[in-house]
A and B are shown apart, each in its own frame.
Chain A
């Protein structure tokens, strides 16, 4: 296996955070050798490990999961709980511009806030 977008990103973030291979391994509870293998693209991390790596490297788990070709289990759960509306919504939204996505996100956040207040 050769370097992947994820492996390059992990290496870049580790250097930015001034962490050694072993140090990062200890932070996320794996060996330094496993970190080396991830950085060389010789191994792929589990979803849980990607989330721990994101926390240790102070970065977005969604970005790392995307680079790893994985989806956050929470997102998978939302799809499972709404098997008709989520695909339909995503199909309708597929051509939205980044600005429209931002506006939509703001609206959804507002709706979620109201729902929490009602509860």
Chain B
């Protein structure tokens, strides 16, 4: 399977595709996007997939985190991620990315009668895997919802703490409980929401923080 079958997609196009799925799903249950995004319900109730946790076949290898079989409409999740909320939800969201972005091309090139599963591997990262990852991040952490949650945190907090603390706070208080800290940090950087409140160029950031700390120190005295 070569990547030539699949079109290159801009990040904007992937964000739009993810938003479209979110809006279509939430239109069936009140219209408003709620967090954490219920990826299992989107997969099973809205799109008709079956989620199967397994350690059999390909999935005896923990490097294969998940897979999707479009013919049997099954999303496989490696049993090794069962107890990791973030990785579990991200794997399902990633497979939904393949459903939205790659299903048609995959099926049209699939030799008749041949079984085919698109797999999420922790080691191989071809273009379509990157696209499905980007889709998953956008689905679990919709940009508008994430920006709103980040804005609710005080500027002081964002100035004082690093991106790691910001990610942790958003996960616990922003409603993103099915997201890992690593995925959140990555998404914050993607959306330029890292802990740099004024979006200062890096050259100005360190002197600004030093000035801020000096000001705080003096005001305490």
Q: Which A residues lie at the B interface, using CB under 8 A?
A: 11, 15, 18, 20-22, 31-33, 35-36, 39-40
Contacts and interface: CB of A to CB of B under 8 A. Distances in A.
Contacts, number: 34
A34 to B, nearest CB: 9
Contacts of A21: 40, 51-53
Contact of B40 (A20, A31, A35): A20
7 cross-chain pairs, A with B, having the tightest CB-CB distances, nearest first: A20-B40, A33-B53, A33-B79, A36-B53, A32-B53, A36-B52, A32-B82
Interface of B: 40-41, 44-45, 50-55, 79, 82, 88
Contacts of B44: 15
B122 to A, nearest CB: 19
A36 B40 CA distance: 13
A31 B53 contact: yes
B54 A36 contact: yes
A33 B54 contact: yes
B82 A33 contact: yes
B41 A39 contact: no
Nearest to A40: B52
Nearest to B82: A32
Contacts of B82: 22, 31-33
